[in-house]
């Protein structure tokens, strides 16, 4: 088995996956489990379905993507798919909830709601992953290499 060499691009992709995943999984834990002063599953679903008007299944998919999806992203599994989904979620959050409050987050407590600067950062980092994939230090890469080496060892039947 070949060993992985240190590569700046792959290391950068690993760091982007880990830090984006940590930040978003914390928001997912707020939505799914009520951790970090979140509303939990029922409170979040009420907001999604009654306040914003999203279909129930879409709300569930958002919660799963922001929680379990981010764990997969950090591990480097289904990275492009999850990054693309996260871009869609963040755009949805901007246009349904945050755009009306302007660009900046409400650091000083002077606004009625939060702006969309966080969402733009998440979109930018997700775009990097969407374009480049998870990199060599990802489960995707390991599984693809294992699959390719397994296929090359199969005998050819004539």
pLDDT tens readout for residues 34-50: 999 999 999 999 999 99
- The predicted pLDDT at position 153 comes to 64
Q: How far is CA 70 from CA 76, 81, 107, 134, in A?
A: 9, 11, 25, 13
pLDDT tens readout for residues 62-106: 999 999 999 999 999 999 999 999 999 999 999 999 999 989 988
- The whole-number average pLDDT for the span 16-26 is 98
pLDDT tens readout for residues 105-134: 888 888 888 999 999 999 999 999 999 999
pTM for this structure? 0.86
Q: Is the CB of residue 17 less than 8 Å from the CB of residue 79?
A: yes
Helical ranges in the chain per DSSP H: 8-33, 40-46, 56-75, 79-93, 117-132, 139-152
CA distance linking residue 69 with residue 63, whole number of Å: 9
Q: Which two tokens stand for residue 115?
A: 């702006």
Q: Is the CB of residue 79 less than 8 Å from the CB of residue 142?
A: no
Say if residue 53's pLDDT is above 70. Answer: yes
Band the pLDDT of 136: cuts 50, 70, 90.
very high
Say if residue 22's pLDDT is above 90. Answer: yes
């Amino acid at each position: 088995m070949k060993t992985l060499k240190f590569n700046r691009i792959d290391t950068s992709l690993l760091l982007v996956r880990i830090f984006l995943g940590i930040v978003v999984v914390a928001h997912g834990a707020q939505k799914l489990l009520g951790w970090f002063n979140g509303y939990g599953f029922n409170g979040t679903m009420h907001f999604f379905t009654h306040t914003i008007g999203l279909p129930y299944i879409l709300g569930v998919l958002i919660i799963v993507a922001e929680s379990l999806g981010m764990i997969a992203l950090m591990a480097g599994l289904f990275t492009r798919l999850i990054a693309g989904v996260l871009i869609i979620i963040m755009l949805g959050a901007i246009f349904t909830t945050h755009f009306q409050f302007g660009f900046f987050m409400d650091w000083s407590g002077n606004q009625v709601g939060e702006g969309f600067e966080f969402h733009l950062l998440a979109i930018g980092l997700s775009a990097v992953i969407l374009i480049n994939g998870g990199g060599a230090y990802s489960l995707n890469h390991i599984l693809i290499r294992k699959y390719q080496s397994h296929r090359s060892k199969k005998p050819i039947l004539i």
